[in-house]
Amino acid sequence: MALTQVSSNKCCGGFQKVFEHDSTELKCRMKFAIYLPPKAESEKCPVLYWLSGLTCTEQNFITKAGSQQAASEHGLIIVAPDTSPRGCNIEGEEESWDFGTGAGFYVNATEDPWKQNYRMYSYVTEELPRLISAHFPADPEKMSISGHSMGGHGALICALSNPGKYKAVSAFAPICNPMQCAWGQKAFAGYLGPDKSKWETYDATTLVGSYSGPQLDILIDQGRDDQFLSAGQLLPDNLIAACTEKKIPVVFRLQQGYDHSYFFVFSFINDHIKHHAKYLNA
Amino acid sequence: MQEQDLYNAEEGSAEDQRGVWGGSADGEPDRELRVPGKAERHGRQSRTKIAEEKRLKEKKRVTPPPSTFQRFSVDTNESLHFEPYIPSDEDEPRSPSFRGATVFSDEVFEEEGETEEGPPTEDAGGSRVDLKEGLGGHSERDPPDVFCMDCKVPTQASQKLFGPHKDHRVIQISRAADEVKEDLQKGMHKLEEQIGLMENFASHLEEIFITVEENFGRQEQNLEQHYNDVLQALSQRNEQGAAQLQDDKKLKLEALYTQLLECGKTLDVSKELIEEAQQIYRDEDKTAFLQAVTPALRRIEELSQDESEIKLSSSMDFENTPVDFSDVKQMMDSVNILPAPSAPVINPQVPNSASSTSARVCWSLFSNDTVDFYDLHYHPVLDDATFTGLQAPDALEIRVKETYCTVRELLPNAQYEFWVTATNTTGVSPASEKAVYMTVPSPPIIKPRECASCPEAALIRWESGNANPVDSYTMELSEIGAEGGANAVTESIVAVPTCECLVQLQPGRHYSICVRAVNIGGPSERSEPIIIQTTGTSFHLLEDTAHPCLSISSDGLTMFYTDEDLPLSGMVFSDNTFARCVAVLGELIPVRGKHYWEVEVEDRTEFRIGVAYEDTQRNGFLGGNSTSWCMRHVITPSRHKYEFLHNGWTPEIRITVHPKRVGVLLDYDAGKLSFFNAHLAQHLYTFQCRFLHHVHPCFALDNPGALALHNSIAAPAYTMFN
């Protein structure tokens, strides 16, 4: 798998790069962003995978979230992939901003015409880590995952479905219970078909109920003034209730005045990176 | 009397002793045994020896030597007490008195002497040899075969029956010889003992010489001083007398001079008058004469009548005022008397010479006095308040021979006044100046409940341990090594003015700390030590801030809010206690850096845990004001609710797993207060605050329940990420 560097900018003593490659899972050319901290010049570093939300590419996070400073300080590599396969020319993929292009929902689609390319779950959990380990000074044992909105949902389901694989997990305004919200229902219906049991494997709230594995420590930040929260798309209470029931440690912070934007992410990204660093650097 | 005997004994003893020496000790044959005169010549040597001995013995009596002397003199007297020997020409045996075994030996020698008289031509050696053989058998009769014990003469058996030995005890010569030999042995032993004693005595003589010199020196000095004093007094008198005479002379001369002047005046007046009178007399004019003559006549009459004092106004002679020499006489009388000592000089207290119950008092002689012993007096110095001056506390006395004394059974941290007098045979010296000595204080008592520690410092508090104030305290700390043994004191902090001290330490170590109280007497013994671990933070709860409904366990680490409904009247509030919030403050060391502690709570405990300024409102609720920050747990019907309160405001935070052990990290430098679920190593929340003052940990219970505080825990690694 050859990597082509698309861009490289020195940032906070390290380098913010973008690479392109041919993805075997997604069967198209995919870009991803990777931040290499100064420490990566001399030793292997842990990797934090950041999953972005609806309509985002690999660019949003690296230009808007301000994560490089904390990543540099804590010596973490941050990998931010795209949110869906691109250029596959699947009919209907451009119709809505919350389904199809830029809305992969981090599932492995089982329905046509999506199932060939829309395999973001496997891309994120398998192909990408192999790629990163092979081409960068990454410590394969130290991975963690985080994300925003749809990416938050992705981070949660990846962590809950792969006990022990991710040393830490956190999320910004995640879609906590997609089966119960409009976004999730639309996406799951499209990618997975009508069988709700398949939906459950990609729903954080249901996954919590059946989780068994090493203890998690989940940090969730949610803007209080997030329009999607009030619209009932995010449903954090459901997740919290489930975690309380299952005694899965979660700290959920409802941040007064903050909305769903990257300004919100920017405001708390340091806390999240510290949270990850605590476990990755332990 | 004894001297007399000794002297007499000399003559006798000389021979006899010589005899012994000659025979057994020296091996020198003695040739001049015949007459006392000759014996004297030799005896002179020994006599001088003995005379010396006698003189020494006299001297010895002043400073008695070890007991050998006593025995020696007694025994010598006995052994040397002889009747002067006057040899007779008789062949008859004499019957001297018996006086013990030693005398027995005399008889032996008398026997010898006696036998000598018989054949003048015999030499001493020969006769002695004969003696040794048992009998001087040089009689003109038959050889003797028996020996009369009574008369001490050999004789014949036949004589026993008829002769002078009729009623005496007579035995075989050989047996007699044996008996006599025994006696001889005894005598020799005795004399050997005496020799031993004498040698002992002789070896002491050197010391005696030195003592004599010393005493001589002292006496000489004394004498000189005395005579100097006397001479001084006399010359003083002389001067006084001379001065007095001078004055007298002056007075006399002045008086006489005045008189002279007066005489002169009178003479002048008189002469004038005469001239005048003559003039008047020559006046031819009778009338004028008669007129002028009357006053002149009158004046002449007056003058003539006025018998001027022709007496001397003061006598030519000088009186002899008797000079008062009584004090000089007294001085002369006391010349030979050993002066009483002058007042000794008492030394000031030497630092570190006292203990809490004793003091070592030292003094010295003012001059080279002879002193037999000292009396050290002392009594405690009382406060002016209790000491009226009329009732001086009874002084205790100790009699010592040295110039120092360790006085015991004193009270700690107390002042005593000491003074000392010196006494010799003449009398007692005046008292020395009074010196105040102080015993060291009792050791302080550290109060572990009131001590606190953190990774970089410790705050130690203690009780003085003394009723009266001390000057300062010294804190000593030593690091306890990994193997557990305490090293020598590694650090001392002196001049601590109050009963608490904050000391900087290294993190992650064990220290043993103790305190001493110090006054001018020195430092007290060490207090019982306290072990301090500079791991994590350790503090105690300030019970006097606790709301009356809170009760604190005896170790100060657990607080309870009991179910009982205490009536409001039954509660005791003070300015310092929380009145509404059932809260209590903890004592935290005022040291910057990080502090970490943990609190154990139960599932249903509704608590507030955080920090507050020392002056946080006692009427307020923790977290409800700007002077306190806390994490609050509330139980609602549906769920656990968590608040992070400051100024009445809390962020909205949901925590899914109830923390049973809350870790609190206070970071002064970063201005942060963080809370953790210690069991899960989960960060819960961090306040960002700029602390204006040092804060205290605070705890409250909103409902009946309990909180248990855990101290001395090092801040876990995960806490640094927040």
Question: To the nearest whole number, what is the mean pLDDT of chain A?
Answer: 95
Separation between Cα atoms, residue B115 and residue B94, nearest integer Å: 12
What letter would DSSP give residue B133? T
Per-residue model confidence (pLDDT) at position B482: 59
The kind and range of the H/E element at B710 are: strand B705-710
Q: What is the mean pLDDT of residues B318-332?
A: 74
User: Is the model more confident about B265 or about B310?
Assistant: B265
For A235-261, what is each residue's pLDDT tens digit?
A: 999 999 999 999 999 999 999 999 999
Q: State how beta strands B510-519 and B472-480 pair.
A: antiparallel
Q: What is the pLDDT confidence band of residue B661, given thresholds at 50, 70 and 90?
A: very high
End-to-end CA distance of chain A: 32
Q: What is the mean pLDDT of residues A103-107?
A: 94
Separation between Cα atoms, residue A113 and residue A196, nearest integer Å: 19
End-to-end CA distance of chain B: 112
Residue of A244, A245, A248, A272 to mutate when probing chain B, most B C-beta within 10 A: A244
Q: What is the pLDDT confidence band of residue B366, given thresholds at 50, 70 and 90?
A: confident
Separation between Cα atoms, residue B39 and residue B37, nearest integer Å: 5
Please list the alpha-helical segments (H only) found in chain A.
58-64, 68-74, 120-122, 128-135, 150-161, 182-192, 196-200, 204-209, 227-230, 236-246, 262-280
Per-residue model confidence (pLDDT) at position B687: 94
Q: What is the pLDDT confidence band of residue B655, given thresholds at 50, 70 and 90?
A: very high
Query: Has residue B21 got a pLDDT over 50?
Result: no
Residue of A73, A222, A238, A278 to mutate when probing chain B, most B C-beta within 10 A: A278
CA of residue B315 relative to chain centroid, distance: 68
Per-residue model confidence (pLDDT) at position B570: 66
Are B683 and A278 a contacting pair at CB < 8 A?
yes
Per-residue model confidence (pLDDT) at position B331: 72
- Per-residue exposure over B516-532, b if at least 16 CB sit within 10 Å of its own CB, e if not: bbbbebbbbbebebbeb
Per-residue model confidence (pLDDT) at position B286: 79
B681 vs A contacts (CB less than 8 Å): 217
Q: Rounded to a whole number, what is the distance in Å from the CA of B687 to chain A's nearest CA?
A: 13
* Pair of tokens at residue B50: 């003995």
B675 vs A contacts (CB less than 8 Å): none
Query: Has residue B126 got a pLDDT over 50?
Result: no
Tell whether the torsion through CA atoms of B186, B189, B195 and B199 is positive or negative: negative
Backbone angles phi, psi at B354, to 5 degrees: -110, 160
Per-residue model confidence (pLDDT) at position A212: 93
Q: What is the pLDDT confidence band of residue B85, given thresholds at 50, 70 and 90?
A: low
Question: To the nearest whole number, what is the mean pLDDT of chain B?
Answer: 76
Per-residue model confidence (pLDDT) at position B92: 44
Q: What is the mean pLDDT of residues A10-23?
A: 96
User: Considering just the CA atoms, what is the radius of gyration of chain A in Å?
Assistant: 17
Partner residue facing B682 (CB), from A249, A252, A277: A249
Query: Has residue B72 got a pLDDT over 70?
Result: no
Query: Has residue B122 got a pLDDT over 60?
Result: no
DSSP string, B601-669: --TT--EEEEEEETT--TTS-TTSSTTEEEEEEEE-SSSEEEEEEETTB--EEEESS--SEEEEEEETT
Average the pLDDT over each of A166-175, B116-125, B347-356, B652-661 and give the range with the smallest value. Answer: B116-125
Query: Has residue B2 got a pLDDT over 80?
Result: no
Per-residue model confidence (pLDDT) at position B94: 43
What are the residue numbers of the active site of A? 149, 226, 260
Per-residue model confidence (pLDDT) at position A175: 96
Q: What is the pLDDT confidence band of residue B365, given thresholds at 50, 70 and 90?
A: confident
Neighbouring C-beta atoms of residue A70, cutoff 10 Å: 22
Separation between Cα atoms, residue B634 and residue B653, nearest integer Å: 12
Partner residue facing A251 (CB), from B682, B717, B718: B682
Query: Has residue B395 got a pLDDT over 90?
Result: no
- ω into residue B339 within 30 of 0, thus cis? no
B717 vs A contacts (CB less than 8 Å): 282
For B429-439, what is each residue's pLDDT tens digit?
A: 888 888 888 88
Q: What is the mean pLDDT of residues B228-245?
A: 87
Per-residue model confidence (pLDDT) at position B549: 86
Are B721 and A224 a contacting pair at CB < 8 A?
no
Partner residue facing A277 (CB), from B651, B657, B721: B721
| Domain positions in chain A | 4-280
Q: Rounded to a whole number, what is the distance in Å from the CA of A216 to chain B's nearest CA?
A: 9
Per-residue model confidence (pLDDT) at position A161: 96
Per-residue model confidence (pLDDT) at position A202: 95
Partner residue facing B680 (CB), from A215, A224, A256: A215
- Superfamily of A4-280 according to CATH: Alpha/Beta hydrolase fold, catalytic domain (3.40.50.1820)
Q: What is the mean pLDDT of residues B452-475?
A: 88
Angle at B112 between CA B111 and CA B118, to 5 degrees: 95
Per-residue model confidence (pLDDT) at position B307: 63
A243 vs B contacts (CB less than 8 Å): 656-657
Which of A49, A105, A116 shows the shortest CA–CA distance to A76? A49
- Per-residue exposure over A33-50, b if at least 16 CB sit within 10 Å of its own CB, e if not: bbbbbebbeeebbbbbbb
Separation between Cα atoms, residue A108 and residue A121, nearest integer Å: 5
Per-residue model confidence (pLDDT) at position B486: 56
Which of B601, B583, B600, B589 shows the shortest CA–CA distance to B539? B589
Separation between Cα atoms, residue A121 and residue A158, nearest integer Å: 8
User: Is the model more confident about B85 or about A263?
Assistant: A263
User: Is the model more confident about B632 or about B369?
Assistant: B632
**What's the ipTM?**
0.90
Q: Rounded to a whole number, what is the distance in Å from the CA of A128 to chain B's nearest CA?
A: 28
Our separate counts of H helices and E strands in chain B read 9, 33
* Pair of tokens at residue B474: 């010294």
Q: What is the mean pLDDT of residues B453-469?
A: 87
8 Å CB contact between A202 and A185: no
Separation between Cα atoms, residue B73 and residue B75, nearest integer Å: 5
* Pair of tokens at residue B517: 């109280």
Strand pairing partners for B551?
A: B560
Q: What is the mean pLDDT of residues B281-298?
A: 79
Per-residue model confidence (pLDDT) at position B305: 74
Per-residue model confidence (pLDDT) at position B152: 78
B680 vs A contacts (CB less than 8 Å): 215, 217, 249
Q: With pLDDT > 90 as the criterion, what percentage of chain B qualifies? A: 19
Strand pairing partners for A11?
A: A14
Range with top average pLDDT, B131-135, B165-169, B205-209: B205-209
User: Is the model more confident about B290 or about B529?
Assistant: B529
Are B652 and A224 a contacting pair at CB < 8 A?
yes
Average the pLDDT over each of A29-38, A125-134, B15-24, B697-706 and give the range with the smallest value. Answer: B15-24
8 Å CB contact between A162 and A201: no
Are B656 and A248 a contacting pair at CB < 8 A?
yes
Are A252 and B653 a contacting pair at CB < 8 A?
yes
Q: With pLDDT > 70 as the criterion, what percentage of chain A qualifies? A: 100
Query: Has residue B467 got a pLDDT over 90?
Result: no
What is the model's pTM?
0.63
Query: Has residue B399 got a pLDDT over 60?
Result: yes
Query: Has residue A269 got a pLDDT over 50?
Result: yes
Per-residue model confidence (pLDDT) at position B336: 63
Strand pairing partners for B423?
A: B373, B428
Separation between Cα atoms, residue A194 and residue A187, nearest integer Å: 11
Neighbouring C-beta atoms of residue A194, cutoff 10 Å: 9
